[in-house]
Amino acid sequence: MELHSTIITPFLTHLMKVLKGLNLLKESTNHNLKIQLNPNRNIDEALI
């Protein structure tokens, strides 16, 4: 069991980092899409 935890824990940590990164990427993509959909709005409004 000791061997299992030493392998699984770093893997889970890495997985969480990857998921967090994907989530940030998704949020920034949505943000860019909002700006593209509303080109007549100023950027300050799009940032809210």
Does residue 36 belong to any structural domain of this protein? Answer: yes
Q: Report whether 14 contacts 25 (CB < 8 A).
A: no
Round the CA-based radius of gyration of the chain to a whole number and report it: 19
Report d(CA 42, CA 47) in Å as an integer: 9
Q: Residue 20: its pLDDT value, please?
A: 94
Q: What is the per-residue pLDDT across 16-48, written as a single tens digit (0 to 9) for each?
A: 999 999 998 888 887 777 766 666 666 555 555
Q: Report whether 47 contacts 32 (CB < 8 A).
A: no
pLDDT range class, residue 13, cuts 50, 70, 90: very high
Q: State the total domains in the chain.
A: 1
Does residue 27 belong to any structural domain of this protein? Answer: yes
31 lies in which domain range?
Answer: 22-48
The pLDDT of residue 14 is above 90: yes
Report d(CA 24, CA 26) in Å as an integer: 5
Does residue 44 belong to any structural domain of this protein? Answer: yes
